[in-house]
Amino acid sequence: MARLAQAEIQERLAKAPGWALAGDAIERTFRFPTFAAAIAFVDKVAAIAGAHRARLRARGRDRDGRAVTLRPV
């Protein structure tokens, strides 16, 4: 797949609230009231991503594990 031009990336990000360019990828951080809610969200995303054979990285963003950052890889 060809890489998008910087202008096209910015145009598409303008239509995707919460997503931002981070290096050469896009990412978004989601925050949850509990660690269990964060893990449940990751499980749901994993099921959808797996069905589409998408590659995705999820990582905790705070000490209590209630924030998750998603980044396609």
For residue 18, the model assigns a pLDDT of: 92
For residue 68, the model assigns a pLDDT of: 75
For residue 1, the model assigns a pLDDT of: 66
Residues in the chain: 73
- List b or e across 30-60, with b for residues whose CB sees 16 or more CB atoms inside 10 angstroms: bebeeeeebbeebeebeeeeeeeeeeeebee
Domain 6-72: CATH architecture, name and number where available: 2-Layer Sandwich (3.30)
Query: What are 20-30's pLDDT values in tens digits?
Result: 998 888 888 88
Q: Which DSSP letter does residue 11 get?
A: H
- Locate the domains of the chain by residue range: 6-72
Neighbours of 24 (CB within 10 A): 6
* 56 contacts 69 by C-beta, under 8 angstroms: no
